[in-house]
A and B are shown apart, each in its own frame.
Chain A
């Protein structure tokens, strides 16, 4: 298996089951029996996916506060009280910032690193392995490590900045706190973008690039008009995966800023978590999480279309 064949073209139609090629009762029996392979998967998906999603929708339209004796239907009351509020809208803005800034940084740096890895000079496998490490690490622990390195007075990064007369207290200033969250997310996931794009580059045909070189195209022209268009499918799926992940970013924020200073880094996940599990407003929490899922429907739609099995 080469690295190109790891991007399998999903077959539109599955291979026919051996039994299904023969007509009649036997074929039907084989099809029913083949359900046995996916029954456990169905059970698990219904337990952790379908039932909770349905329950979340129900919670979002009923009075779920602990003081309520029995949950009453309140229509869109929870949404009015929690979603259409300045706090929620500001958390949406924070999440949008994390997504946009994160994707920009991760794509730019990840692409450039992919180009360098793709040159396959001596030792590139070592670099690729080392760069693989951050994305597989425990996000909470990564957050704590960065907090250690950024502590005023004793952190290695803050000390380094002091040398330039730049006295950092990154967790005290709203914009630097936001920047830190984006940078930690980028430190973890630039390698992911790099890996996906370099896998995509390996699969590109040689001819258009050779033709461009013969015609004397510059590096930028080759990148802009040949490589990027040819890589478009891989770029799309990579950015979608990162977008979906950045929207649910939680662990790193929890381990570093906890949403602060003030509400500067309070993303929608963070706000929903606090509302639900610190203030026990389950109806509000459900309404906010449903609102996020609804807002993400266009992204999810593209994702599902692109990854159709």
Chain B
């Protein structure tokens, strides 16, 4: 009995330490985001000795470049996510339930798109996008990010469709439901949790993306990730505004994770293990 109590204590201790290590950087950057320019570069021993100020946030929202890139990020994320969820639902259904010509080939192409290094695609994509005059526009970034995130979302929806009972579908078809009615009234309600999960993963992936936007959008179509990377120059770094921007970029993700944790655990394992 005593040995298992020691084991439990050790388990709890390790998990607590691991959790603290996972959270601490976020806490630290949030703390720094409420400091003024002098306090933020104070020695760490005086880390808690400051008067909190929202000045960093206030000035960010008065900076057109920040507001513009935030809007671009939101726009690209929303558009890509809507497209991906719609296509992944159709595609996941087809892969789970239908025999269609070219099924294996499409799956192969999708897995390749999923694993190929972004740098292989971005070199030609830069040339192609510039060639058709869409450089520094949000549209190509949204389309490319939708394409790159579609495979994972499709495999996720495939898993959800495979776990959905076939009998209800059959009953609906026997009752004379059209394909559209089947989708609208039977399938979509059944896999709605899957669509939500796929949507969240897609949104996070697009929101976090950096390589594609940094190459394809520099000013007009600058995303938040590209904007925040510019804080670091060779001369010096404005840590206060940088930390505030970091908090604003990460906050939506953390909120999503905390509110959707169960479906995220399922989604991560299902989408990766397929």
Q: Which residues of A contact B126 (CB under 8 A)?
A: 276-277
Residue of A nearest to B23 (CB): A130
Chain A residues with a Cβ closer than 8 Å to the other chain, count: 110
- Our pick among A123, A145, A304 for the contact of B12 (Cβ within 8 Å) is A123
Q: Does B139 contact A (CB under 8 A)?
A: no
Q: Does A263 contact B (CB under 8 A)?
A: no
Chain A min CB distance to B201 (Å): 9
Q: How far is the CA of A17 from the CA of B96 in the complex (A)?
A: 10
Q: Is A117 in contact with B119, judged by CB distance below 8 angstroms?
A: no
Q: How large is the interface on B (under 10, 10 to 19, 20 to 34, 35 or more residues)?
A: 35 or more
Q: Is B261 in contact with A132, judged by CB distance below 8 angstroms?
A: yes
Q: Is A192 in contact with B97, judged by CB distance below 8 angstroms?
A: no
Q: Is B268 in contact with A195, judged by CB distance below 8 angstroms?
A: yes
Residue of B nearest to A283 (CB): B123
Chain A min CB distance to B8 (Å): 6
Q: How far is the CA of A11 from the CA of B159 in the complex (A)?
A: 10
Chain B min CB distance to A103 (Å): 15
The B-contacting residues of A in range 20-57, CB under 8 angstroms, are: 20, 31-32, 34-35, 37-38, 40-42, 44-45, 47-53, 55-56
Q: Which residues of A contact B250 (CB under 8 A)?
A: 137-138, 141
Q: How far is the CA of A47 from the CA of B159 in the complex (A)?
A: 25
In the complex with contacts A156-B47, A248-B118, A282-B127, A124-B91 CB distance below 8 A: no
Q: Which residues of A contact B270 (CB under 8 A)?
A: 6-8
In the complex with contacts A34-B98, A48-B113, A244-B115, A154-B261 CB distance below 8 A: no
The A interface is mostly helix, strand or loop, or mixed, namely helix
Q: Does B29 contact A (CB under 8 A)?
A: yes
Chain B min CB distance to A245 (Å): 9
In the complex with contacts A48-B125, A129-B258, A56-B22 CB distance below 8 A: no
Q: Does B108 contact A (CB under 8 A)?
A: yes
Q: Is B15 in contact with A124, judged by CB distance below 8 angstroms?
A: yes
The B interface is mostly helix, strand or loop, or mixed, namely helix
Q: Is A116 in contact with B113, judged by CB distance below 8 angstroms?
A: no
Q: Is A56 in contact with B120, judged by CB distance below 8 angstroms?
A: yes
Q: Is A145 in contact with B25, judged by CB distance below 8 angstroms?
A: yes
Q: Which residues of B contact A289 (CB under 8 A)?
A: 117, 119-120, 123
Chain B min CB distance to A275 (Å): 9
Q: Which residues of B contact A149 (CB under 8 A)?
A: 25, 28
Q: Is A47 in contact with B143, judged by CB distance below 8 angstroms?
A: yes
Q: Is B99 in contact with A8, judged by CB distance below 8 angstroms?
A: no
Q: Which residues of B contact A139 (CB under 8 A)?
A: 208, 210
Residue of A37, A142, A251 most packed against chain B (CB within 10 A)? A37
Residue of A nearest to B170 (CB): A18
Q: Which residues of B contact A56 (CB under 8 A)?
A: 120-121, 123-124
Chain B min CB distance to A106 (Å): 13
- A–B complex contacts, Cβ < 8 Å, 7 sampled: A14-B103, A44-B150, A52-B128, A116-B11, A124-B15, A133-B26, A140-B225
Top 9 A-B pairs, shortest CB-CB distance: A48-B147, A37-B94, A55-B124, A248-B117, A159-B44, A309-B107, A49-B113, A289-B120, A127-B15
Question: Which chain A residues have a beta carbon within 8 Å of chain B's beta carbons?
Answer: 1, 3, 5-8, 10-11, 14-18, 20, 31-32, 34-35, 37-38, 40-42, 44-45, 47-53, 55-56, 59, 112-113, 116-117, 119, 121, 123-134, 136-142, 144-149, 151, 153-156, 159-160, 187, 191-192, 195-196, 199, 234, 237-238, 241, 244, 247-248, 250-251, 254-255, 268-269, 272-273, 276-277, 282, 285-286, 289-290, 292-293, 296, 300, 303-304, 307-309
